[in-house]
Amino acid sequence: MNPEIRIRGYHTDMYQHVNNARYLEFLEEGRWQLLEDHMNLEEMMNNNFLFFVVNINISFKSPAKANDIIIVKSGLGKIGNTSVVFKQKIINKQTGAVYIESDCTFVIADGDGNPRKLEGELKENFLNIPALEK
C-beta closer to a second copy: residue 54 or 131: 54
Residue 84, CB-side half-sphere exposure with 13 Å CA sphere: 27
Helix (H, G, I), strand (E, B) or coil at 57: strand
Question: 13, 37, 103, 110: which one is catalytic?
Answer: 13
Q: Judged by CB, which is closer to a second copy: 32, or 126?
A: 32
Residue in 38, 44, 49, 60 binding a second copy, rule: CB under 8 A? 60
Stretch near a second copy under the rule CB under 8 A, chosen from 50-58, 75-83, 116-124, 125-133: 50-58
In this structure, the chain runs to a length of 134
R_g (Cα) of the chain, nearest Å: 16
Residue 21 as a binder of a second copy (CB under 8 A): the answer is yes
Active site residue 68: no
Asked whether the CA dihedral 129, 79, 47, 121 is positive or negative, the reply is positive
Amino acid at 98: V
Q: Interface with a second copy by CB under 8 A: which residues?
A: 8-10, 12-16, 19-22, 24-25, 28-29, 32, 42, 50, 52-60, 63, 66-67
